[in-house]
Amino acid sequence: MRARHLRGMAAGIALVAGLGMAAPQAAAQTLTDTLIAAYRTSNLIGQNRAVLRAADEDVAQAVSALRPVVNFVARAEGVSAEQSLPSGPGTTRVENLTAQLALSAELTVFDFGRNRLAIGAAEAQVLATRAALVGVEQQVLFNAVAAFMDVRAAISRLELREANVRLIGQELQAARDRFEVGEITRTDVSIAEARLAGARSQVAAAQGDLAVAREAYRAATGDYPVRLAPPPALPALPASLEAAQGVARDRHPAIRRAQFEVTAADLNAERTAAIGRGTVSGTLNLSIDDDRRDRSSVGLSYSRPVYTGGRNPSLSRQAIAQRDAARSNLHQTAVEVIEQVGRSWSNIAVSRAQIQASASQIEAAQTAFEGISQEAELGARTTLDVLNAEQELLDARVGRVDAETARTLAVYGLLSSMGLLTVEHLDLGIPVYDPEAYYNAVRNAPLRSPQGEQLDRILQRMQP
């Protein structure tokens, strides 16, 4: 009878281990569902889309500097004077009020390329901000993968711990029965009681881990998980570390962002160097006074700074320093990205080895548990021996859960380090944000026009 009971314990552990990974299959949330929810509900993505739209407006503002600036001026003046009276001594105050309406326009005719360089720098900064948005998208999607896998792992660990409590409870009852008939001592019963208390403590800790994982899932996706399906087949990866690093050099958003920031810094350095060359401006003034007298004037002027107290040379030196900093940042970013690819590649290899080792460990622990159980039936093993063998089998199964979770995170971490953890590359089947739509609507600094109406429609679609 004891042998059947112990074999039932082993079968129960194996069954629960399988349920921990396979039970939530029917009508469950998939990893794709989780990624889609994270992408659609992310406040971080929404924030950085707004940051990108603000950068788009910098281009519009740079373009507007090439257009005339027209000002309307309404002016009223009063002049007072003391006037002597013709009939004798004394004076009187005379008020003379005048009014004038005027339009003045000023246009930069030639600025030695500064506006053109400003537009180029703004455009490069837009591209850098777009790359930063892709980086945020990768961060959001990886957090969703991590949240999904953490919940599944927490559920599996909790189920294993709960099964362990039930099995140790059965072992404790069996120990008490054997103590009653004098087969074992009170010490064996106390050992089983202590082990049961420890197992219950581990269940409480596993419940806490699951609660934490559920909160992280809600933060990542906007809602709590209901039932999670097993993760799908892992995405395809490059054949070698060198190939993965080559993709990262070409695709990683951090590197692309740094490249565009270098371009913007180069153009800004050129622009500040041209400040001292001056500006050719055209002016047009139209006015009418309260006597309906019209006046108009047209002018062309050239001005350049002669003395600025050292401000312009300082601006030039500052722009050069910022350019050098951007170039150094590009080099350092590339180093860090390549390092991350190597780390992720190594993590995948380690997790695969851990899974293989866990499988061997589980098989050996299962055999050991069954053998010790049979020996205990014959009196050659104690209750402590059985409990230790059961604990080793449990630890091996928990280790496999952790190793499988680590492998999945390592694979998606490698995709992220290559710059491929995006909605488009994962083919999630949902519409993606189009940064060109807003940019094309504002790049020419539209006024109230058909183009401006198109911009209004785009803004309405972006409202939450």
**Which tens digits make up the pLDDT trace of 229-242?**
999 999 999 999 99
How, if at all, do strands 279-289 and 294-303 pair? antiparallel
How, if at all, do strands 91-110 and 69-84 pair? antiparallel
Instruction: Answer whether 98's CB lies under 8 Å from 115's CB.
Output: no
How, if at all, do strands 91-110 and 294-303 pair? unpaired
CA angle 210, 216, 222 (to 5 degrees): 120
Q: How far apart are CA 299 and CA 154, in angstroms?
A: 77
pLDDT of residue 444: 87
- Give pLDDT < 70 ranges for the chain: 1-27, 79-95, 448-464
Give how far Cα 28 sits from Cα of 22, 25, 219, 231, 305, Å: 11, 6, 19, 11, 70
Cβ neighbours of residue 29 under 8 Å, at least 6 residues apart? 225, 226, 227, 228, 229
pLDDT of residue 383: 79
pLDDT of residue 89: 60
The count of other CB atoms within 10 Å of the CB of residue 233 is 5
Q: How far apart are CA 437 and CA 145, in angstroms?
A: 29
pTM to 2 decimal places: 0.83
What are the structure tokens assigned to 347, written together? Answer: 């993590």
Strand order in the sheet with 294-303: 69-84, 91-110, 279-289, 294-303
pLDDT of residue 99: 84
pLDDT of residue 27: 61
pLDDT of residue 463: 54
pLDDT of residue 178: 82
Of 202, 197, 163, 204, the C-alpha closest to 393 is 163
Phi, psi of 138 (to 5 degrees): -60, -40
